[in-house]
Amino acid sequence: MVTSVAPRVESLSSSGIQSIPKEYIRPQEELTSIGNVFEEEKKDEGPQVPTIDLKDIESEDEVVRERCREELKKAAMEWGVMHLVNHGISDDLINRVKVAGETFFNLPMEEKEKYANDQASGKIAGYGSKLANNASGQLEWEDYFFHLIFPEDKRDMTIWPKTPSDYVPATCEYSVKLRSLATKILSVLSLGLGLEEGRLEKEVGGMEELLLQKKINYYPKCPQPELALGVEAHTDVSALTFILHNMVPGLQLFYEGKWVTAKCVPNSIIMHIGDAIEILSNGKYKSILHRGLVNKEKVRISWAVFCEPPKEKIILKPLPETVSETEPPLFPPRTFSQHIQHKLFRKTQEALLSK
């Protein structure tokens, strides 16, 4: 068994501590913007994350279909995040995925530790907690379970939870449905750029190479939620990210200079445009900065699936059709792996400069 390097946040939370360890306390400049997430979610004034109804995304009626696709494109350009409803994945399957994840996290700690990852040796799949980013020393108030769920031939079933028994069937079924939804979304986004329907999907790896990585984020109750973050501010490196949650608010988006709290929309899937699509579209589609708040009353769980291009096989750069004399390329060519390293390096430099 791998011994954990970072203490599990769940253990800290259930230990009865009244104040959180200093490495979880956010820098002063961040603290001013962290409010009570339940109060924030109730606010109706100001901008709200768009909800896109996908019911008509493949309608026979061209006018109806185009209206739906135009709304999706507009949300991707203005926000880069949206609630998807009528997405074609049954409530029953989504409920099974959630129950399986919650059941795993409700197992005794020693059971979960059997699936512990070993980040130091590069084994990131499995059960874990964030290690300190050496430069800032900051930790996030979450534990997680991370593994690849699609394509089927790239799965490592040895690290998939055996308990509950429905974890494997529910996750397998969900991955197939989600992969099909990703194709639909990428088609609309391609057409929105004036490209052939299959172009963006091909540019991020197609059916064989686009990887679906699932991360169940578990945010325990926090005795001082005004001092911590479940996930610090970041943009997703993926092409697309699809998120389910247990209807406890927490997601915030940095929109027009302010943090906007996403509402909990029943039966929806939250979708983010990731960096890979922002790069390919030369910034026309947005990868929005976002973070996760925690609270002292309820455990929050989210199920994120990151659709990622292969690490080395593809060069990510603005597609020629998105570049012109008036719109030069905004991003240099990089592999997905280089893009991740670039972001980590920049974050480390910023942390060192702020010390």
Element (H, E) at 278: helix 275-280
Question: How far is it, in rounded angstroms, from Cα 343 to Cα 71?
Answer: 30
Question: How far is it, in rounded angstroms, from Cα 274 to Cα 200?
Answer: 13
Q: CB of 54 within 8 A of CB of 84? A: yes
Place of tokens 């104040």: 19
For residue 237, which amino acid is it?
V
Residue 179 makes CB contacts below 8 A (sequence gap 6+) with: 150, 207, 210, 212
Query: Nearest 5 degrees, angle CA 99-CA 243-CA 144?
Result: 65
Q: Which candidate, 227, 221, 229, places its Cα nearest to that of 297?
A: 221
For the chain, the maximum distance between any two Cα atoms, rounded to a whole number of angstroms, is 60
Q: CB of 83 within 8 A of CB of 49? A: yes
Output the six-digit token pair for 338: 């280089």
**How far lies 234's CA from each of 197, 265, 339, 344, in Å?**
29, 23, 14, 11
Give catalytic residue positions: 215, 234, 236, 290
Pairing of strands 81-85, 269-273: antiparallel
Q: Which candidate, 276, 272, 221, places its Cα nearest to that of 248?
A: 221
